[in-house]
């Protein structure tokens, strides 16, 4: 690669524009890598244009022809160089250098020789460096094209390079006169060449320019540079003219002349190099695929020798230089002997060996792994019917052309013609009177069903079998049998890239679309949405979809597998059914194979949401039936597509038939948002005019969680009470130009992620950083102050300390750099201070009033009390609020903030898609709001009819998927506001609801899923339902709002909450019921736990009662911690619901309603004391709890596979990774479970580990259920023990609290960690690993053996030491880790565990015994020993 690196450097430093032709994916350009490296250290910045493989590089070069020099770099490829040939007539008169890297064959490069003035060939890396410099000099000075071909092999030494400044001086220097003559070096000596013979004026001029440039280059590089180099005998009888790379030995009587200059190559050079005494000349060229009789250089040599009048004339012969690692003297003598043979071969002479035909053809192209997402779907849908007409497997036998659309189209046309021949032959045979009646019947049936994908194959096989056994000797029978391969109706596909979109004619796409053939074309577009503006703006990629739709008779679909898998399936099936050409445009945004699936998902969502990649289907056959041909499957479309639909009158039809689309198709919602912003700005301006007499103060804040916003609003109110004219807004709402006109501005910002600004301040920060880069003093009139809010313990490592309050500190320094003047010093609020951020705020705020001269004003008016959740609940009229009114508001997709607190009680969370939040803000749109709906399903048992309804709800109202949660129920994501009420009504139709699935109430009661203990599970499940019903809120608001059940007229009956009261609970309340020995529900992680105690005959006799568990924590806030429950006694089954009521009411009356972070039951118990709290519960009960009964747990993971209950019914526990029910390539779990629900007569049981049990299967249904499980791969349990015991919460993109990925990332991490387990020999051993995107603990991470808690994107806290069956909490081992650190920690740890563990010792127990971490003894002591033990302790900031 030394030669390529050297050439790339010269091209970069010498050119104004560099055009780099990219290789076929997934290979990346080696030139590009060098250019990227040079950009970091060179002061020059040429324009780098990357041309995708398959596009037209010649057009790009011509568009930049006004530059002083354009360099084109590429690795030799037939398709690329053939495309250049069309432009050579124009390129030849332009300052262009074409650098072509070759490996062992010059056939393609020689295609360019005939039309360019200069053609140079380099054999070594040093020569490549020197000739690249020479080529640049020639092209610049002569304004003509130069082709520079160089061999790029691995065995080259690095050349001596000249400094960057010397290159510039050399290229910009004046011309020198050419030297009087040239030399040809012989072995060990130098011969002088005389003046050239008489030649054409043009050739002489070119040669003179070349010699001048060569002399100038030689002076700079200090190496001899000669067009011809001779080595060997002084008086040879044979001369070998070499055009190729090889090492030649010394052979007596033989001279080798190595040619480096092909254009211009005057005859005089050759005549002077070849002595008159030579009797044989062999023209040896490294061209493996030259198809004409005479090789390129051969005719030049013959023409030159004709000018020599010498008798006898030398014999001139052509030879090919093949693969020749080492050429010996014997090889040369054999070549001469071949040439001297009296009956020479009609073929070229050969030195070395040529690759076999199969080897000469390109090897089978590599299919990038990401593209398998679509090819697997094709294989899955069409199975053996699938015929990819340009399959890479054809390359081995047909060459590179086999992957082109032209070849594929010709192949399809040939196959269809043969099938037409078969149809005609069958018709002819039907008219033959002597065929068997059975055969006649089969032929007739096939003629009618020849296009049926199933029947055509089945009947065809029967016909073949019958004809082969038939005595009929009609010649048509032989013809039918010879065409037997065409009986089945194939699904024919051509698969290509978006490179075909740049030139519809030359790529062959136009011919395929216009052919009328029944062919399907799948085009993969890989350009990421975020990189859409980085491409060459002059190279317009045609919209193939619009082009095809305008054709009128083509099925068109636009799909994205990472957006809607079901829409992809539907589109591909419809394309196959369409009789005619079909074009399916498939979005797959990635840049390299290393691009993660998660990044592809995010890019896809951005593109679809913005309308850049709309999802749609266009079926012109429907129009012939009087139906609408256009189906829009996404919410936004591009302007070009909208214009087409307007022309065709389809958009208006669509909006008439579905009025709800009208405001969404072109994202007009953004206009509403913009208008609202304008009105708000006008209002602010009017307020400013009315208070010109007071000093103005603008307050700008950036806040994610709302803390900084509250501080900003408080400052604004206190400023107004002092007579100031205060205005408050977010950072992103103001431009730098507007800010420069302000006088006094107070900035308040918190921290997001790893020292990043909050979401609503990032655009401002980007603009501010750009302004600092330019160095202009734009804020000379601005007076400012900054208050930053952060947590000094959030990033405890010394190397991470700079993340503390980073946005506030950077904002303060950047404003000063831009000319701003502080009117109050920087203030910093620290969560670790005694009063949290208020400690720093109380110092900072008085400085503002003093600087503005209002510090002496006495404020007597009471500061308004902050609105809290308690106020919202009390004012809600038992959870009504203004939810109903908000649902009616169609101008926005969100509900009021107070209402979103209340909807939680109804089982609904307002969310937005965080993957596309930034992009929508840039577009002026509100966030992509949607809602999560959680079903209340006590005990996690679901009937088949309920499953089918929930499956339908996911498709009709949600994102197409649904999730099994760790609370043993279902969640739907992506439900937009207008679908909320229909979705909840559909849920209630199957006797389910969502009431109290969230909110400050008792939530879904969970219980162990124990298929083997049928009787005990029935009793425990019934108990769970009774407790849930006993503690459910009694408000009728749920039925009013969602089910349209109104109160009695005149509100004669008033709502009342006998248990909760108007304030409900201080925080959420969770109950779990466990059945030993399985603690699958993690009973100690719940506020209230019931541990089932069975009698002598297996019947349920009562429960041990556990209280005080809870998982939520706030990063860096040591007042918060996880806690596991304490057992306080035993109760009977009949007492259980009253125990639950008493514990909940004690928490209602004693819980912290001031600080929600300390409001859970665990804090109440620790504040009151366990004994005091227990006494309060027993007082409410009116009796004391009995002593706890003996029990034991041995696991908290699910028991996978088949089991039989006590009642003889069968149960199958399946693995659903992280609980996500969806269809994916090779894993159609959602479809499979739907099919099972259609025939299943038992139940489905959800587990709190997010998995599923198909339960209560009777013997007669067992084979059918097993067949469906196998068909949809739902019975696959071959996963590692680590994966089977892993669990993750949803996190990004929908959870508003998430700080890092969880559900989407954990499978990727498990892939890497389970390799360590496999290498250590413990693949099947269970290690409980859990991950959450924030510290709230939805996946119960604090009782896992290994846990990861999100802190920032890509960054987690790592916890170790949890108990295998949930009996002990883990604790923080490392405060901050990224993936490389995780793997570096776990690899040696897991290997040690595999070698050192005791019999039956679990990983969490071993980490404590091995000294990595200390055991956690209580919640309040959770931070003790954090960071590791002894030698494994993490170094943290003091």
What is the set of active-site residues?
A: 934, 1003, 1068, 1070, 1289, 1295, 1334, 1338
Can you give the length of the chain in residues? 1438
Report the chain's C-alpha Rg in angstroms.
39
H/E/C letters for each residue in 215-267?
Answer: HHHHHHHCCCCCCEEEEECCCCCEEEEEECCCCCCCCCCEEEEEECEEECCCH
Q: Is the peptide bond before 432 cis (omega within 30 degrees of 0)?
A: no
**Strands 725-730 vs 744-749: parallel, antiparallel or unpaired:** unpaired
Cα–Cα dist 1025/1014, whole Å: 17
> What CA–CA distances, in Å, run from 441 to 479, 583, 1226?
19, 37, 39
Which residues are within 8 A (CB) of 34 and not within 5 positions of it... i.e. 6 or more apart? 4, 5, 8, 9, 12
Cα–Cα dist 1427/1431, whole Å: 11
Cα–Cα dist 577/563, whole Å: 23
> What CA–CA distances, in Å, run from 524 to 370, 374, 509, 936?
11, 9, 13, 42
Q: Residue 1398 gets which letter from DSSP?
A: P
Q: Give 572-576's long-range contacts (Cβ < 8 A, gap of 24+).
A: 572/377, 572/378, 572/381, 573/381, 574/617, 574/619, 575/520, 576/381, 576/382, 576/453, 576/491, 576/520
SS3 content of the chain, % helix, strand, coil (to 5): 40, 20, 40
C-beta atoms surrounding 819 within 10 Å: 14
- What are phi and psi for residue 19, nearest 5 degrees? -105, 115
> What CA–CA distances, in Å, run from 213 to 135, 148, 209, 220, 600?
9, 15, 6, 11, 50
Q: Which residues pair with 682 in a beta bridge?
A: none
Provide the greatest CA pair distance for the chain: 132
Cα–Cα dist 27/368, whole Å: 9
Nearest to 10 by CA among 99, 109, 143, 102: 99
Q: Is the peptide bond before 1358 cis (omega within 30 degrees of 0)?
A: no
Side-chain half-sphere CA neighbours of 584 within 13 A:
27
**DSSP helix/strand/coil, 1417:** coil
> What CA–CA distances, in Å, run from 787 to 470, 695, 1023?
94, 20, 54
- C-alpha angle 141/146/150, rounded to 5°? 130
Instruction: Give the distance, in angstroms, between the CA of residue 951 and the centroid of all CA atoms in the same chain.
Output: 26
Nearest to 665 by CA among 675, 676, 653, 677: 653
- What are phi and psi for residue 1374, nearest 5 degrees? -135, 130
Burial of 141 (0-12, 13-18, 19+ CB in 10 A): middle
Cα–Cα dist 1207/114, whole Å: 88
Q: Are 1092 and 1076 within 8 A, CB to CB?
A: yes
Give the helix ranges, DSSP H, for 578-638.
597-610, 620-624
Burial of 96 (0-12, 13-18, 19+ CB in 10 A): buried
């Amino acid at each position: 690669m030394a030669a390529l690196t050297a050439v790339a450097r010269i091209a970069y430093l010498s050119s104004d524009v560099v055009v780099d032709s990219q290789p076929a994916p997934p290979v990346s350009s080696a030139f590009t890598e060098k250019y990227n490296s040079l950009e970091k250290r060179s002061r020059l910045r040429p324009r780098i244009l990357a041309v995708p493989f398959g596009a037209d590089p010649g057009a790009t070069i011509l568009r930049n022809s006004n530059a002083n020099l354009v360099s084109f770099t590429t690795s030799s490829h037939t398709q690329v160089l053939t495309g250049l040939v069309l432009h050579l007539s124009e390129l030849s008169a332009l300052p262009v250098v074409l650098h072509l890297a070759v490996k062992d064959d010059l056939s393609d490069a020689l295609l360019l020789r005939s039309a360019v003035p200069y053609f140079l060939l380099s054999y070594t890396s040093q020569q490549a460096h020197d000739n690249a410099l020479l080529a640049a000099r020639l092209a610049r000075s002569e304004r003509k094209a130069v082709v520079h071909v160089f061999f790029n092999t691995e065995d080259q030494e690095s050349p001596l390079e000249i400094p960057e400044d010397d290159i510039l001086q050399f290229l910009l220097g004046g011309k020198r006169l050419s030297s009087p003559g040239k030399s040809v070096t012989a072995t060990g000596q130098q011969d002088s060449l005389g003046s050239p013979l008489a030649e054409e004026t043009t050739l002489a001029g070119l040669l003179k320019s070349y010699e001048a440039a060569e002399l100038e280059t030689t002076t700079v590089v200090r190496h001899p540079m000669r067009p011809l180099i001779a080595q060997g005998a002084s008086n040879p009888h044979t001369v070998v003219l070499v055009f190729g790379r090889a090492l030649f030995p010394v052979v007596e009587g033989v001279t080798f002349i190595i040619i480096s200059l092909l254009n211009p190559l005057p005859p005089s050079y050759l005549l002077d190099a070849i002595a008159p005494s030579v009797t044989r000349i062999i023209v040896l060229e490294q061209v493996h695929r030259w198809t004409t009789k005479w090789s390129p250089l051969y005719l030049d040599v013959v023409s030159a020798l004709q000018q020599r009048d010498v008798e006898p004339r030398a014999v001139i012969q052509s030879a090919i230089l093949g693969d020749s690692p080492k050429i010996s003297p014997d090889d040369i003598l054999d070549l001469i002997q071949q040439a001297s043979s009296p009956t020479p071969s009609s073929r070229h002479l050969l030195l070395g060996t040529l690759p076999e035909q199969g080897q000469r053809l390109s090897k089978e192209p590599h299919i990038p792994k990401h593209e398998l997402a679509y090819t697997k779907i094709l294989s899955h849908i069409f199975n053996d019917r699938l015929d990819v007409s340009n399959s890479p497997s054809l390359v081995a036998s047909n060459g590179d052309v086999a992957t082109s659309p032209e070849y594929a189209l010709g192949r399809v046309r040939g196959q269809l013609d043969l099938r037409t021949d078969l149809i005609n032959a069958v018709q002819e045979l039907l008219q033959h009177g002597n065929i068997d009646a059975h055969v006649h019947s089969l032929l007739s049936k096939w003629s009618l069903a020849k296009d049926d994908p199933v029947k055509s194959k089945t009947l065809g096989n029967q016909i073949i079998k019958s004809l082969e056994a038939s005595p009929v000797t009609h010649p048509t029978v032989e013809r039918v049998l010879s065409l037997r391969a065409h009986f089945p109706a194939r699904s024919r596909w051509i698969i290509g890239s978006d490179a075909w979109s740049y030139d519809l004619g030359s790529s062959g796409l136009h011919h395929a679309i216009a052919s009328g053939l029944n062919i399907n074309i799948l085009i993969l577009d890989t350009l990421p949405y975020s990189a859409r503006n980085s491409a060459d703006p002059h190279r317009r990629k045609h919209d193939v979809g619009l082009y095809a739709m305008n054709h009128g008779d083509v099925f068109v679909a636009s799909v994205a597998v990472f957006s809607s898998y079901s829409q992809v399936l539907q589109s591909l099936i419809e394309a196959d059914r369409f009789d005619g050409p079909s074009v399916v445009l498939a979005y797959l945004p990635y840049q390299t194979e290393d691009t993660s699936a998660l990044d592809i998902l995010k890019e896809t969502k951005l593109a679809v949401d913005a309308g850049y990649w709309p999802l749609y289907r266009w079926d012109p056959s429907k129009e012939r039936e009087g139906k609408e041909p256009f189906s829009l499957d996404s919410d936004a479309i591009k302007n070009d597509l909208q214009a087409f639909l307007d022309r065709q009158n389809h958009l208006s039809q669509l909006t008439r038939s579905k009025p709800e689309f009208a405001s969404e198709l072109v994202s007009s919602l953004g206009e509403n948002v913009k208008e609202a912003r304008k009105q708000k700005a006008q209002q602010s301006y009017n307020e400013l005019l009315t208070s010109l007499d007071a000093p103005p103060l603008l307050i700008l804040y950036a806040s994610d969680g709302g803390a900084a916003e509250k501080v900003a609003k408080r400052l604004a109110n206190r400023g107004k009470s002092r007579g100031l004219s205060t205005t408050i807004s977010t950072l992103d709402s103001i431009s730098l130009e507007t800010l420069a006109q302000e006088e006094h501005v107070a900035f308040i910002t918190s921290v997001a992620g790893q020292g990043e600004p909050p979401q609503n301040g990032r655009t401002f920060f980007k603009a501010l950083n750009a302004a600092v880069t330019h160095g202009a003093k734009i804020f000379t009139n601005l007076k400012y102050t900054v208050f930053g809010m952060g947590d000094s313990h959030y990033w405890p490592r010394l190397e991470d300390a700079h993340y503390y309050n980073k946005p506030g500190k950077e904002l303060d320094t950047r404003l000063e750099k831009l000319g701003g003047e502080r009117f109050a010093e920087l203030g910093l609020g620290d969560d670790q201070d005694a009063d949290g951020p208020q400690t720093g705020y109380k110092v900072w705020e008085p400085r503002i009033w003093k600087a503005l001269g209002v510090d002496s004003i006495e404020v007597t008016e009471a500061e308004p009390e902050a609105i809290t959740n308690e106020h919202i609940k009390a004012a809600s009229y038992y959870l009504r609020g203004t939810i109903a009114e908000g649902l009616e508001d169609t101008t926005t997709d969100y509900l009021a903030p107070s209402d979103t607190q209340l909807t939680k009680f109804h089982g609904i969370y307002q969310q937005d898609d965080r993957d596309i939040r930034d992009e929508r803000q840039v577009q002026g749109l509100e966030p992509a709001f949607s809602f999560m709906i959680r079903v209340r399903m006590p005990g996690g048992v679901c009937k088949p009819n309920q499953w089918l309804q929930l499956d339908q709800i996911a498709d009709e109202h949600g994102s197409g998927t649904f999730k099994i949660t760790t609370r043993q129920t279902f969640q739907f994501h992506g439900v937009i506001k207008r679908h909320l009420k229909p979705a909840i009504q559909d849920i209630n139709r199957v006797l389910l609801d969502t009431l109290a699935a969230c909110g400050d109430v008792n939530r879904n009661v969970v219980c162990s899923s124990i298929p083997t203990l049928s009787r005990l599970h029935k009793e425990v499940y019934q108990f769970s339902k009774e407790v849930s019903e006993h503690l459910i809120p009694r408000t009728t608001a749920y039925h009013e709002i969602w089910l349209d059940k109104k109160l009695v007229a005149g509100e004669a009956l008033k709502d009342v909450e006998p248990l909760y009261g108007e304030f409900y609970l201080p925080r959420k309340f969770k109950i779990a019921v466990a059945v030993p020995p399985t603690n699958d529900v993690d009973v100690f992680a719940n506020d209230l736990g019931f541990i089932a105690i069975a009698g002598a005959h297996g019947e349920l006799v009562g429960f041990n009662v556990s209280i005080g568990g809870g998982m939520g924590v706030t990063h860096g806030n040591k007042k918060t911690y996880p806690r596991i429950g304490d057992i306080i006694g035993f109760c009977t089954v009949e007492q259980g619901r009253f125990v639950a009521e008493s514990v909940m009411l004690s928490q209602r009356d004693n819980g912290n309603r001031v600080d929600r972070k300390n409001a859970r039951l665990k804090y109440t118990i620790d504040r009151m004391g366990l004994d005091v709290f227990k006494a309060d519960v027993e007082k409410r009960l009116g009796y004391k709890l009995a002593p706890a009964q003996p029990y034991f747990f041995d696991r908290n993971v699910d028991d996978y596979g088949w089991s039989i209950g006590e009642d003889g019914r069968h149960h199958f526990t399946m693995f659903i990774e992280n609980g996500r029910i969806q269809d994916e390539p090779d894993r159609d779990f959602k479809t499979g479970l739907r099919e099972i629900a259609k025939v299943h007569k038992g139940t489905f049981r959800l587990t709190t580990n997010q998995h599923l049990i198909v339960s209560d299967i009777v013997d007669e249904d067992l084979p059918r259920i097993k067949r469906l499980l196998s068909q949809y791969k739902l019975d696959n349990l071959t996963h590692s023990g680590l994966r089977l015991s892993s669990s993750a919460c949803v996190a990004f993109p929908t959870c508003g609290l998430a700080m890092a990925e969880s559900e989407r990332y954990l499978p990727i991490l498990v892939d890497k960690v389970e390799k360590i387990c496999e290498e250590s020999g413990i693949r099947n051993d269970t290690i409980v690993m859990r991950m959450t995107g924030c510290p709230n603990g939805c996946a119960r991470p604090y009782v896992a053996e290994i846990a990861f808690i999100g802190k920032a994107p890509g960054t987690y806290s790592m916890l170790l030491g949890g108990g295998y069956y949930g009996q002990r909490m883990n604790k923080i081992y490392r405060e901050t880790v990224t993936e490389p650190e995780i793997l570096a920690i776990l690899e040696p740890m897991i290997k040690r565990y595999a070698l050192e563990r005791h019999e039956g010792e679990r990983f969490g127990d071993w980490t404590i015994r091995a000294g990595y971490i200390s055991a956690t003894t209580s919640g309040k002591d959770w931070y003790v020993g954090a960071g590791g033990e002894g030698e494994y302790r993490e170094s943290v900031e003091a």
